[in-house]
Amino acid sequence: MPLRDVFGEGARDSFFRERAEREYLALVDRIDSASITPHVGPDDILESNEVGYFVQNATETLDLEIVFTPEGGGRPHGRYHEAYEEGGRPLIVLFYEESKERVIKRKLLAIRGKLGSMAVAVRNVLHLRHYTFTHEYIHHMDKLRMGPHRTVQTPEPDDSPDARERKMGEYYNSPLEINAYIQQMLTSMQHSISAYPEYWPDDSREFTFRAMRFIEQNYPLAWKYFSEDTKRRVRKRVGQMWLDRRGSG
């Protein structure tokens, strides 16, 4: 039976976030014994000036690629591939920007096979891209939930003056991205609640007010392009989180 038929939206949110968190913590724990392979671009994942650390069988269902890219390259923080290779496993890619000189050094060391402790570098990036991992893992869960044949149609080329703004709006308000961003936002909120419980009141209205301010401050680009309908969906899920926190959801 599909997950969407078993869980309501609030219960599904909690299940997805808990699963993503378990996978993240399990991944961090197994990094020291993982099979990590360095490679340099270009290929379908890496550009020519990038270095990747590939973690095979990073989780029970996924492989992981950490990509070190020069600062200012405009790469996204993460990417999800449902099946990167024919017959292969799904892949989460986490991008991390650092100085051009540092990336060149990594590239030279990778070519010479003298990288040292790649596990430390992977763990550091995982720590800095924790919520990005959650976002991409939610994509993985959504693909499992909806089935392998659901695809998003490639948009037609558009060179009009407002094309970028329109495409950004379409991206942030697409169903899969809405769910992944909301789950990412609620995960970071959960961590804030655990770290600073005194900041998060029991009163529903005050909790929602602080939650929306937290999201707007920490995810300004998403909030800028979210439609009013999407913002209402965010508020609804925040309200469900408050109910779950009180044990009345």
Residue 126 CA from chain centroid, whole number: 11
- Alpha carbons 226 and 235: distance in angstroms, whole number: 12
Query: Angle at the Cα of 152 (from 150 to 154), degrees rounded to 5?
Result: 145
Burial of 54 by CB count in 10 Å (0-12 exposed, 13-18 middle, 19+ buried)? buried
Asked if residues 173 and 227 have their Cβ atoms less than 8 Å apart, the reply is yes
The pLDDT, as a whole number, for residue 112 is: 84
Pairing of strands 51-56, 78-81: unpaired
The tokens for 214 are 């937290």
What's the rounded Cα separation, in Å, for the pair 195 and 103? 34
pLDDT for 3 equals 46
Q: How far is CA 92 from the centre of its chain?
A: 9
CA angle 106, 29, 192 (to 5 degrees): 95
**Average pLDDT of each block of 10 consecutive residues along the chain (249 residues)?**
52 86 93 91 91 91 94 92 79 96 91 83 95 95 73 55 86 93 95 94 94 97 96 94 76
- Backbone angles phi and psi of 52, in degrees to 5: -120, 145
pLDDT of residue 6: 43
